[in-house]
């Protein structure tokens, strides 16, 4: 049973989000987030080191290269903006979203939905997840996603409540497979992240930035089981508080292949798409998880 005190705190925080966002411009919230992000970068050496390793691979440089260090600082600052957006977008209306966002590839989402098998929406920990999710919801989709349980309990309740207000249902990641299959078979949408690292997650080897990495097999396995197309989407930040949302051509299961070969092929296509957006928006990937095995030495 949910704890009443925890739920009350979560609802109060969500109310506060929606209220303060009307009086504090996003530009101000972003400015406040920058020194906080710099402090977090300095105070979290573990996350900083992982980001340095990841961006060294992305940029083809050593981890002690100043360019890599600057990109990691930019990564933390974009994550600060992401946190500000989580708080701020609760108060946005439909017109706020549409006025700030340029959309590329909306027809691909319509194409995927027209197949009538549900849609698997995938993205990475990058750009503005809030903006991307808002756009999908505005197009009439209700999203179901999975999340690891957060601590303390009020934080998890806050995330669940804020997502519910956006039209997104969160369910525990453990044992979610059967429920996700049912949702897709009813024509619903399931949203999953693809750069979650490999600990405890069934994964598939892919080539990413010229080296072998591991991506979760879940999206492709669901596509194979249900016939639902996979659509990669993300929203990158532009100057002036604007965003560019991108939706990509659906990735579909190839029944002529064996199940494992099909899953591997679809997952590689996801990885290749993900790589293209990391290249397009350097610094907007929240590279705080190990995807590649550490380089020797």
pLDDT score for 198? 47
If you average pLDDT over residues 286-292, what whole number do you get?
91
CB 237 within 8 A of CB 284: yes
pLDDT category at 288 given cuts 50, 70, 90 is: very high
| pLDDT (tens digit per residue) in 184-232 | 999 999 999 998 754 557 889 999 999 999 999 999 999 999 999 999 9
CB-CB contact of 198 with 224 (8 Å): no
How far apart CA 76 and CA 43 sit, in angstroms, is 12
CA distance 81 to 90: 14
Give the integer Cα–Cα distance in Å for 125 and 227: 25
Q: Which residues contact 196 (CB under 8 A, 6 or more apart)?
A: 125, 216, 289
- Which residues, in sequence order, are CB contacts of 4 under 8 Å at separation 6+? none
215 contacts 267 by C-beta, under 8 angstroms:
yes
In the predicted structure, residue 281 carries a pLDDT above the cut 50: yes
- Give φ, ψ of 178 to 5 degrees: -65, -40
Q: Which residue has the higher pLDDT, 103 or 134?
A: 103
More confident residue, 98 or 295: 98
pTM of the model: 0.88
Judged against a pLDDT cut of 80, whether residue 255 lies above it is answered with yes
Tell me what pLDDT residue 292 has: 87
Distant-in-sequence, close-in-space partners of 223: CB < 8 Å, separation ≥ 6: 120, 229, 230, 251, 252, 253, 266
The DSSP bridge pattern shows strands 189-193 and 230-237 to be unpaired
CA distance 23 to 166: 20
Edge-to-edge order in the sheet of strand 101-104: 101-104, 243-247, 230-237, 119-123, 189-193, 143-147, 168-172
Q: Is the pLDDT of residue 172 over 90?
A: no
* SS3 letters across 234-248: EEEECHHHCEEEEEC
Q: Is 209 helix (H, G, I), strand (E, B) or coil?
A: coil
The residue extents of the domains of the chain are 4-280
Question: Bigger pLDDT: 83 or 53?
Answer: 53
How high is the pLDDT of residue 199? 53
Main-chain phi, psi angles of 23, to 5 degrees: -115, -15
Strands 211-216 and 203-208, bridge-based pairing: antiparallel
The Cα 189–Cα 58 span in angstroms is 31
**pLDDT of 240 higher than 90:** no
CA proximity to 266, closest of 277, 252, 247? 252
Would the pLDDT of 171 be above 50? Answer: yes
CB 232 within 8 A of CB 248: yes
Distance CA 115, CA 269 (A): 20
């Amino acid at each position: 049973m949910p704890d009443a005190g925890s739920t009350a705190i979560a609802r109060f925080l969500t109310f506060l989000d929606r209220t303060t966002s009307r009086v504090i411009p996003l530009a101000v919230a972003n400015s406040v987030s920058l020194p906080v992000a710099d402090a977090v970068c300095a105070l979290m050496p573990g996350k900083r080191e992982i980001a340095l390793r990841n961006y060294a691979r992305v940029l083809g440089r050593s981890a002690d290269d100043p360019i890599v260090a600057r990109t990691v600082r930019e990564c933390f600052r974009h994550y600060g903006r992401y946190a500000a957006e989580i708080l701020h977008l609760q108060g946005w209306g439909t017109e706020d979203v549409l006025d700030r966002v340029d959309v590329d590839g909306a027809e691909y989402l319509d194409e995927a939905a027209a197949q009538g098998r549900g849609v698997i929406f995938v993205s990475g920990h990058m750009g503005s997840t809030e903006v991307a999710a808002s756009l999908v919801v505005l197009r009439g989709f209700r999203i179901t996603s999975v999340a690891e349980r957060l601590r303390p309990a009020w934080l998890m309740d806050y995330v669940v409540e804020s997502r519910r207000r956006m039209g997104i249902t969160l369910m525990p990641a453990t044992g979610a497979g059967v429920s996700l299959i049912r949702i897709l078979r009813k024509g619903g949408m399931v949203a999953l992240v693809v750069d979650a690292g490999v600990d405890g997650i069934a994964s598939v080897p892919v080539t990413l930035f010229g080296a072998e990495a591991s991506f979760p097999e879940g999206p492709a396995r669901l596509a194979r089981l249900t016939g639902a197309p996979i659509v990669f989407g993300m929203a990158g930040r532009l100057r002036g508080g604007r965003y560019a949302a991108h939706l990509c051509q659906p990735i579909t299961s190839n029944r002529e292949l064996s199940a494992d070969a099909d899953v591997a092929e679809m997952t590689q296509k996801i990885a290749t798409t993900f790589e293209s957006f990391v290249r397009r928006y350097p610094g907007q990937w929240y590279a705080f998880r190990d995807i590649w095995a550490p380089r020797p030495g």
